[in-house]
Amino acid sequence: MALIVHKYGGTSMGSTERIRNVAKRVAKWHRAGHQMVVVPSAMSGETNRLLGLAKELAPAAHTTAYARELDMIASTGEQVSVGLLAIALQAEGIDAISYTGWQVPVRTDSAYTKARIESIDDTRVRADLDAGKVVIITGFQGIDAQGHITTLGRGGSDTSAVAIAAAMKAAECLIYTDVDGVYTTDPRIVPEARRLHTISFEEMLEMASLGSKVLQIRSVEFAGKYRVPLRVLSSFTPWDIPLDEEAKSGTLITFEEDENMEQAVVSGIAFNRDEAKITVMGVPDKPGIAYQILGAVADANIDVDVILQNVSHDGKTDFSFTVHRNDYAKTIDLLKEKVVPHLGANEVVGDTKICKVSIVGIGMRSHAGVASRMFRVLAEEGINIQMITTSEIKTSVVIDEKYMELAVRALHKAFDLDQDAA
Q: Does 139 bind ligand ASP (CB under 6 A)?
A: yes
Q: Does 42 bind ligand ASP (CB under 6 A)?
A: yes
Q: Which residue lies nearer to Mg ion by CB, 11 or 395? A: 11
**Contact by Cβ (8 Å): 41, 75:** no
Instruction: Give the Cβ contact number of residue 257 at 10 Å.
Output: 13
- What is the rounded CA–CA span in Å between residue 13 and residue 336? 47
Q: Does 224 bind Mg ion (CB under 5 A)?
A: no
Binding mask 53-92 for ligand ASP (x = CB under 6 A): ------------------------x---------------
Smallest Cα–Cα separation from 359: which of 367, 376, 371? 371
Smallest Cα–Cα separation from 268: which of 356, 180, 357? 357
Return the SS3 of 154.
coil
Q: Which residue lies nearer to ligand ASP by CB, 174 or 340? A: 174
Q: Does 154 bind ligand ASP (CB under 6 A)?
A: yes
Q: What is the DSSP string of 366-418?
A: T-TTHHHHHHHHHHHTTPPP-EEEEETTEEEEEEEGGGHHHHHHHHHHHTTTT
Q: Which residue lies nearer to ligand ASP by CB, 124 or 154? A: 154
CB of 40 to ligand ASP, least distance (A): 9
Q: Choose which of 40, 155, 224, 363 interacts with Mg ion (CB under 5 A).
A: 155
Which residues touch 120 (CB under 8 Å, ≥6 apart)? Answer: 104, 105, 106, 107, 163, 164, 167, 168
- What is the rounded CA–CA span in Å between residue 217 and residue 169? 20
- What is the rounded CA–CA span in Å between residue 362 and residue 394? 8
Q: Which of ligand ASP, Mg ion, none does 358 bind, CB closer than 5 to 8 A by kind?
A: none
Q: Which residue lies nearer to ligand ASP by CB, 49 or 353? A: 49
With contacts defined by CB under 6 A, how many residues of the chain interact with ligand ASP?
12
Q: Does 41 bind ligand ASP (CB under 6 A)?
A: yes
Identify the burial level of 65 via C-beta atoms within 10 angstroms of its C-beta, where 0-12 means exposed, 13-18 middle and 19 or more buried. Answer: exposed
Which secondary structure element, helix H or strand E, spans residue 276, and what is its range? Answer: strand 275-284
Q: Which residue lies nearer to Mg ion by CB, 71 or 327? A: 71
Q: Which residue lies nearer to Mg ion by CB, 175 or 280? A: 175
Q: Which of ligand ASP, Mg ion, none does 201 bind, CB closer than 5 to 8 A by kind?
A: none
Q: What is the sign of the dihedral through the CA atoms of 368, 371, 377 and 379?
A: negative
Q: Does 251 bind ligand ASP (CB under 6 A)?
A: no
Binding mask 167-186 for ligand ASP (x = CB under 6 A): --------------------
Q: Does 10 bind ligand ASP (CB under 6 A)?
A: yes
With contacts defined by CB under 5 A, how many residues of the chain interact with Mg ion?
2
- What is the rounded CA–CA span in Å between residue 351 and residue 278? 7
Of 2-10, 89-97, 117-125, 372-380, the window that binds Mg ion (rule: CB under 5 A) is: 2-10
Q: Does 40 bind Mg ion (CB under 5 A)?
A: no
Q: Which of Mg ion, ligand ASP, none does 98 bind, CB closer than 5 to 8 A by kind?
A: none
CB of 214 to Mg ion, least distance (A): 8
- What is the rounded CA–CA span in Å between residue 140 and residue 106? 10
Phi, psi of 111 (to 5 degrees): -80, 85
Q: Does 250 bind ligand ASP (CB under 6 A)?
A: no
Sheet holding 275-284, edge to edge: 304-309, 316-324, 275-284, 347-351
Q: Which of Mg ion, ligand ASP, none does 42 bind, CB closer than 5 to 8 A by kind?
A: ligand ASP
Length of the chain: 422
Binding mask 4-23 for Mg ion (x = CB under 5 A): -----x--------------
Q: Does 98 bind ligand ASP (CB under 6 A)?
A: no
Q: Which residue lies nearer to ligand ASP by CB, 153 or 332? A: 153
Which residues touch 418 (CB under 8 Å, ≥6 apart)? Answer: 190, 192, 194, 412
Q: Which residue lies nearer to ligand ASP by CB, 47 or 322? A: 47
Q: Choose which of 155, 250, 361, 363 interacts with ligand ASP (CB under 6 A).
A: 155
Give contact residues for Mg ion (rule: CB under 5 A).
Answer: 9, 155
Give contact residues for ligand ASP (rule: CB under 6 A).
Answer: 10, 41-42, 47, 77, 139-140, 154-158
